[in-house]
Amino acid sequence: MAIYITQGRYTPDAIKGMMANPENREKAVADLMEKAGAKLLDLYFTFGEYDFLSISEAPSEEVMASALIAGAASGGISHLRTMVAMTSKDAKKAFKSAGALSKSFKPPGLGDDEMA
């Protein structure tokens, strides 16, 4: 399964609501992910441009997107930014494959490319 790292912000109304009624957002996010067919691995509250960072696992982009869309539709979060992450082991495989591919790939402008 793919790993997804998501950053986002809480809306001002969500922050006011959490101050008035503090709750464990990790459970709420984990439940949403589970219902979508994904799994929340970790949730962090962060300082700076984004208010939170979550690390999740999902079998497909569609599953992850459905969870993110549902979260955004709640109106309590905004500015979602999601990246796919890969393990060092998988990255090593990608670099190995890229090394083999790069031997036959020519950059643009060097000629011999009839299919520009």
Spell out the domain ranges in the chain.
Answer: 2-97
- Strand ranges (E), 11-107: 39-45, 52-58, 77-85
Q: List beta partners, residue 7.
A: 53, 81
Look at domain 2-97 and name its CATH class. alpha beta
The DSSP output letter for 29 is H
Q: pTM of the prediction?
A: 0.82
pLDDT on residue 110: 74
What is the overall mean pLDDT for the chain? 93
Dig out the tokens for 38 from the structure: 């994904």
What is the rounded average pLDDT of the residues 70-99? 95
What is the pLDDT, as a whole number, of residue 40? 98
The three-state secondary structure class of 92 is helix
Contact assessment for residue 77 and residue 7, using Cβ atoms and an 8 Å cutoff: no
With vertex at residue 79, the alpha carbon angle to CA 88 and CA 77, rounded to the nearest 5 degrees, is 105
Q: Which two tokens stand for residue 92?
A: 């090593």
